[in-house]
Amino acid sequence: MLPSYLSATCRRAPSLFRTFATATKEKQPHSQAKTQVKVRPTASTSQTTTKPKVPSAVKGRVSSEHAAKHPSQPASQVHSHPESTKPHAKAAPSVVTSGKEAEKEKSEEEVLREQMAQIDQMLAMEKLFPTTDPWAQRVDTLDVELPYVVNPFKPSEYPSWRDMFEQFSQNRQHSLKNATSMWSLAGANAFPGVDLSGAKFRHKLFKWPWHVFHCRSTKPNAWVAPFRAGALESYIELNNALAANDVKRIKTYAIDSYQDTQLKLLKKRSQEYLYKWRFHGELSPTRILSIRAMEGYLSPEEPRFGNRFMAHILVKFDTEQSLEIYDRKGHPLHAHKPEDDHGKKTWLNVPAEKRRVIEYLVLEKRMWYDGPWTFRDQLWEKAGKARVAA
């Protein structure tokens, strides 16, 4: 049995619900109760759009007010309902994506315009100042790299088989880049002592591939033989200049970051001592490990000397050398054999101990200059057991 107050409430519930429904129906606006919904299907989506009818009197009032405020804009462009302009929820991601792509394309176009504007400025500078070279500005080191030996019978040289395979793939890409640069230089007849200007098609087809894929060759008849000789000559001249504290010669054979590094080391070195560097020979032939070439002279006119290319080469120097250090009185301060001193005062004639020095240096040559190869960077072997393929 229910309590008396609950049973009375249940008996009165139907009448209460009818009273509440009647009151709610009376409060609802007449315009909303008769609103008709029109569904207009589209080709791209199955969504529907609800658009209430607007009385003609309201339309006329809105049109007259808009014409008074904006005489030039037609009244047909005035939206009668703000919800009709809202995009569908499913179409929003595509709009955002297209906006990002437009911004990306715009940024790429802006970068291209800036680069073209810089080239135009350099061309204008070349005409205004014919004695200056606008193409002699600093550039980043091209992607020269050290190749490493990949031997499947010695997997311990790499942390994993995957690392070995990645190095093998990187070596193949490196060889193709070397060959491409060699082919470009050959097409411009840029190898000193080798005349390739009148090469016929059959020579390019059968003879050139043998040379372009052998940039590391040390044979005297190789195309890169003059490059190797010029690199070794610059190496000797630069070390002699560093020992003699000759800043002018250092700036002749060293550029960019390598020049800055050498000059900083020179300032830190004590000026109270005399240095003498001696070159005793090559323990293994000077070898080019990597070569990259690109056009650096972009003037519409041909250069007066050489060609348009700029080349970067990574060279391995395996030499035997010594460094002698003396005080102002000529006494040797370096390590030497006692029999070389004889207990007498000497003057810069005590040989120092010979040492083997292996260096991987990056050299640059702008082919439109009649100048030496210049040093611009130095690379080091990566940590691990992998050996440089040289």
Nearest to 328 by CA among 347, 304, 344: 347
DSSP codes, 179-214 = HHHHHHHHHTT-STT---TT--HHHHHHTHHHHHT-
Q: How far apart are CA 219 and CA 215, in angstroms?
A: 10
Q: Could you tell me what percent of the chain has a pLDDT over 90? A: 43
pLDDT given at position 39: 45
User: Cβ of 348: how many Cβ atoms within 10 Å?
Assistant: 10
Asked if CATH classification 3.10.450.240 holds for the domain at 142-379, the reply, yes or no, is: yes
Element (H, E) at 164: helix 161-187
Q: If you average pLDDT over residues 261-282, what whole number do you get? A: 93
Residue 285 · residue 227 · CB < 8 Å: no
| pLDDT reading at 106 higher than 70 | no
Q: How far apart are CA 384 and CA 389, in angstroms?
A: 14
pLDDT given at position 47: 45
pLDDT given at position 385: 87
Residue 284 tokens read as 């293994």
Domain boundaries, the chain: 107-137, 142-379
Burial 49-58 (b: 16+ CB within 10 A, else e): eeeeeeeeee
- Per-residue pLDDT of 203-231, as tens digits, reads 888 889 889 999 999 999 999 999 999 99
pTM of the shown model:
0.66
